Amino acid sequence: MLENLVDKSLAIIDDDEPFVRRLSKAMEKRGFVVSHALNICDGKKLVASMPPAFAVVDLKLSDGNGLEVVEQLRQARSDAKIVVLTGYGAIATAVAAVKIGATDYLAKPADANDITNALLTDVNKKPPPPENPMSADRVRWEHIQRVYELCNRNVSETARRLNMHRRTLQRILAKRSPR
């Protein structure tokens, strides 16, 4: 898969340690030389010391926004292919990620095959449609969760911004996420 590529360096920047371990192993099996960081500070150090040819960056890290690392990597290495991952799939953040320099944007949960395809797809070609797209209920739930987080988990403010009754929102938040 990577036989004809010279630089196989891959940085994974995500604060979910079990996910990083699993993804690192899977990407090493695919021929990548993997390094990782669990926060923005370490991610920036990693990018500054040796800018990788490929990167997988989580949008929301424990110490801030992963787009800071994307921006630094794009400045350090203009040919890098960068995939941004997020648990909050929103069009606004996807546009922001691509404007800053991300090659692709994937909603979690993304597996190693999805990530590899995104990293190795020619930038000028359109990627194939996802095999398992999120359901409309799941997209709605993700949007509500995103607004809820942006409102610092304030139910009243979230309900006001979403133009819904507070009790309705509380019932939605109390349920498990749809598939």
Element (H, E) at 60: strand 60-61
Question: What is the total count of domains within the chain?
Answer: 2
* Strand pairing report for 60-61 and 64-65: antiparallel
Question: Which regions of the chain are under pLDDT 70?
Answer: 1-5, 88-92, 123-130, 179
pLDDT of residue 65: 84
Same domain, 87 and 162: no
Which value, to the nearest 10 degrees, does the dihedral of the CA atoms of residues 76, 78, 79, 84 take? 80
pLDDT of residue 109: 74
Same domain, 87 and 17: yes
Q: Which residue range(s) make up the domain with 153?
A: 136-174
Of 35, 46, 37, the C-alpha closest to 16 is 37
pLDDT of residue 160: 94
Q: CB-based burial of residue 132 (10 Å sphere; 0-12 exposed, 13-18 middle, 19+ buried)?
A: exposed
What one-character-per-residue DSSP string does 147-168 give? HHHHTTT-HHHHHHHHTS-HHH
pLDDT of residue 157: 94
Same domain, 140 and 112: no
In a domain, 156, yes or no: yes
pLDDT of residue 167: 94
CATH of the domain at 63: 3.40.50.2300
pLDDT of residue 91: 67
CATH of the domain at 168: 1.10.10.60
In a domain, 47, yes or no: yes
